[in-house]
Amino acid sequence: MTGRGALLVLAMVAGAVLLPLPLHVAALAAFGLPHVVWELWFLRARYGGRWRPGWWLALWSVLSLQAGTRAAHWLGALEAEAVQVADLATLALAAMLVAMAPRGTGMAARAVGAALALGTFLALRHGDLLVVLACLAIAHNFTPVALAWDMAREDDDMRPFAMLVGALFLLPLAVACLPWSLVLPLEVQAAHAALLEAQLPPGWGGAQRGAILSAIVLAQCLHYYCVIRLLPEAERRRSGRPVASRGARLLAIGAAAAMLGYFVVDHAEARRLYAVAAGLHAWLEWPVLAMALLGAARVTPIACLRPR
């Protein structure tokens, strides 16, 4: 990581500690959609040719169901409760695809897929859906660590990079342990409380709720930084080619600018529209990581991971 990168990380830490709510809103509006697009490109470059086209087709069909329900919510055709059910139902289907993965995947990946499918089904039957979804959202922020170490498994030269990414995500854990009552003035702690209700399950954190929120905001920003900058650059160095063409990057930047304008005009509606893409890429990561980290998949020359 360069000196500018280190300064950027320090700025993220300071912003998450002192101004978590403005940082969260600004980062989501400016970098939410770019991080989704760049992450999809990275996953395509890394894993698009690793499993058979039929498996990818089945997975994208499941993800399309989730995206459709979220889009319906943005259009006002579905209530939020129905979307929560659809989110977990589609995650269960994606996990079942891991359990029924192509030949050569390995029993460990299949077992994890089956366990995730069963756990998600039980959550649908008996669990608090908001708690489950909140935990998944928090865990998703840390997926760059797994992606970086998967690169290191295949190439020892990537180990320093994986250690760097792992060290970056120790920062949110350190922030979560700060004695918040001694760090922040009361008015800033009040701003924490306004956002915490949507970020953490009720009652979680106790006196450390403010610190945990700042840690979540920092992890979110580090996630954006890793999938927009660090992971694509590492893959370019490893493979010798960029994860996306210049033209594709320019189109993505134009779409991101349009989304940023939407956030400025109507933050609530823009956030619902952004949730369509955000949910799709987050649900894509869980089966891909399970297959990549635990499977012994056969690599094919066909790149099938193409966002619709």
State residue 77's pLDDT score.
93
State residue 306's pLDDT score.
45
Any long-range contacts for 32-35 (C-beta under 8 Å, 24+ apart)? 32/224, 32/259, 32/274, 32/278, 33/252, 33/255, 33/256, 33/259, 33/274, 33/277, 34/224, 34/228, 34/252, 34/253, 34/256, 35/223, 35/224, 35/227, 35/228
Q: Cα(first)–Cα(last) distance of the chain, in Å?
A: 33
Contact 236, 192 (CB under 8 A): no
Contact 51, 300 (CB under 8 A): yes
Q: What is the DSSP letter of 228?
A: I
State residue 183's pLDDT score.
59
Domain spans in the chain, listed from the N-terminal domain onward = 3-294
Reported pTM: 0.89
State residue 299's pLDDT score.
41
Written as one letter, the residue type at 82 is A
Closest of 73, 98, 95 to residue 84, by C-alpha:
73
State residue 307's pLDDT score.
42
State residue 249's pLDDT score.
86
SS3 284: helix
Ranges in the chain, pLDDT < 50: 297-308
